[in-house]
A = this chain, B = another copy of it.
Amino acid sequence: MSTIKDIAKSVGLSVTTVSRALNDHYDVSEKTKQKIKQAAKELNYSPNSIARSLVMKKTRTIGLLVSELFREGVKDNFTFEVLSGINKCAGQLDYDLVLFSTNSAKQKVKTYTQLCKERRVDGVIISGIKTNDPYLKEIATSDIPCVLIDIPIKSDTVGFVTTDNVLGAKEAVRHLIGLGHTYIAFINGHEFAHVSKKRLEGYNEALEEANIPIQKEWILDGSFSDEVAEQKAAVLLKHYPEITAVFCASDLMALGVIRAANKLNIKVPEDLSIVGYDDIILASYVTPSLTTISQDKYQMGYQAAELLISMLENNTDPHQRLLNTKLIIRESTKLNTKIKS
């Protein structure tokens, strides 16, 4: 590997000049610039980003911190789509992306700050962690620039990107109400997800504005898991046969509910309408295909990266980005045929 020193030697100039020429500084004559660049090419030079980072104290690298459930995320490839978006944006702005995977064992040994400082990332994007994650407190107070996905914390150094989950949920439920449903259950995620809180609000508000009483027993947590949702729904549907529609806080859970319905011989969508959330790939391929609230996960990633980098480069935009969701109507919802008593 050749270094600027080699180039300097070969052209008979100082390393300073070489460095400046290679970085296209204005204060090097065009002629020497050419000569130096030529020599660099001949020597097959490529810059040592490590050395540069050391002196500049910038690595042009952003870290992506995802919780260990990474692998489980395979079913709904939410994380993957977010990652694609981040990767795209980072690439365009010439940043590198490094993946951190932590698990609770590691978290005990190394604090969030240590992790980041050690890796020398300029900033971090955090996705898929629960609101009770021990890292979260640290994040909020640390001085490492950071963008959270779907957790609304804002400070000088932390920002977030999310979607309007209240509205999203509201539209889902409104859709069901519009189809004549009034007995609408809700399978939510869990208490440590900010989106779950918001989607619950949306559900409640939609019912209220239609003067439909809220049945607490019809609101259950499914942990964002299809299995759990299936179990919960099985009990629920057996117990309350009057329910004609279920809103789920994720598509995966909606699939679980469909399975539960099938086993109980309840037909979807004839006897039971179901709307999911996320619009994962499966949603459109499954039978019946899923009516759902679509989130642009790729865009969330892209925006997160863009926001983070803008923060790194001292732009003073507000540290938050809000994306839209969209109701996608497919086969799993249908006009309510049971007359309301």
Contact = CB atoms under 8 A, between A and B. Distances in A.
Interface in A19-60: 46-51, 53-54, 59
Contacts of A77: 74, 77, 80, 281
A255 interface: yes
Interface in A147-163: none
Given A74-B84, A281-B282, A96 B98 contact: yes
Chain A, interface size category, equals 35 or more
A198 interface: no
Contact of A98 (B81, B97, B103, B255): B97
Contacts of A53: 50
Assembly stoichiometry (copies): 2
A99 interface: yes
A88 B71 contact: yes
Contact of A81 (B46, B74, B83, B287): B74
A330 B50 CA distance: 52
Most buried by B among A80, A81, A118: A80
Contacts of A98: 61, 96-99
A119 interface: yes
Interface of A: 1, 46-51, 53-54, 59, 61, 70-71, 74-75, 77, 79-81, 83-84, 87-88, 90-91, 96-101, 103, 106, 113-114, 117-120, 255, 281-282, 285-287, 298
8 contacts: A46-B113, A46-B117, A71-B298, A74-B77, A74-B281, A88-B101, A91-B106, A286-B287
